[in-house]
């Protein structure tokens, strides 16, 4: 082995075998080439952000996503990953976690199975609707136009204010 402040070189019988960058970050535990890493280490280093997001939904969701990431062999099916992670818009986290657990137990690690299990086992989140005593204030809510649309009467009133003599 020959090392300096930047690199560590490993020689075997006078032939260069490997060259590693010296670990200078105190949070990094080892320096390892990607082809020597365990599959779970590759997943964590490359796609840890997906796993952190999945862990917020539940441990089985995280396990499900790690299976999806591991089966790609370098290619990540982000459609499945984000499909699972975006289910929290319509279902609560515990229901998604149970559905992912059931899918893992069945050996069906795919989006279609999770969605079917959610339809069977869970009820969607209820969307809040305005009560009858709240009145609609914007033109977009009234169905008369877009978000920034105003009624013609308002424009006429502005014109009258501009053209009126003080």
> How many other C-beta atoms can be found within 10 angstroms of the C-beta atom of residue 62?
19
pLDDT of residue 139: 47
Residue % of the chain over a pLDDT of 90: 23
Mean pLDDT of all residues belonging to the chain: 78
**What does the DSSP assignment read for 70-130?**
HHTTT---HHHHHHHHGGGGTS-HHHHHHHHHHHHHHT--SHHHHHHHHHHH-PPPPPP--
Q: With CA atoms as reference, report the closest residue to 33 among 14, 17, 47, 49.
A: 17
CA distance 66 to 117: 19
Question: pTM of the entire structure?
Answer: 0.52
pLDDT of residue 60: 93
Q: Is the dihedral of CA 116, 120, 125, 130 positive or negative?
A: positive
pLDDT of residue 59: 93
Please tell me which residue, 110 or 24, carries the higher pLDDT value. Answer: 110
3-state helix, strand, coil in the chain (%, to 5): 55, 10, 40
Burial label for 64, CB within 10 Å (0-12, 13-18, 19+), is: buried
The per-residue pLDDT for range 54-76, each reduced to its tens digit, is 999 999 999 998 888 877 666 67
* Residue ranges per structural domain of the chain: 1-31, 36-121, 137-166
The per-residue pLDDT for range 5-59, each reduced to its tens digit, is 888 888 999 898 888 888 777 666 666 666 666 665 555 556 778 888 899 999 9
Q: With CA atoms as reference, report the closest residue to 41 among 59, 33, 65.
A: 33
């Amino acid at each position: 082995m020959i090392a300096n402040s930047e690199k560590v070189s490993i020689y075997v019988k006078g032939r260069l075998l490997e060259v590693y960058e010296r670990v200078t970050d105190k949070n990094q535990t080892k320096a390892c080439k990607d082809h020597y890493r365990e599959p779970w280490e590759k997943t964590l280093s490359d796609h840890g952000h997906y796993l952190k997001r999945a862990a917020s939904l539940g441990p089985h969701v995280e396990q499900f996503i790690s299976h999806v990431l591991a089966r790609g062999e370098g290619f990540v099916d982000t459609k499945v990953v984000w499909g699972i992670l975006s289910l929290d818009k319509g279902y609560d986290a515990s229901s998604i976690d149970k559905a992912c657990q059931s899918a893992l137990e069945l050996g069906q690690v795919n989006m279609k199975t999770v969605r079917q299990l959610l339809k069977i086992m869970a009820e969607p989140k209820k969307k809040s609707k305005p009560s009858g005593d709240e009145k609609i204030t914007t033109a977009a809510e009234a169905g008369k136009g877009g978000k920034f649309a105003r009624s013609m009467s308002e424009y006429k009133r502005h014109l009258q204010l501009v053209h009126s003599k003080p």
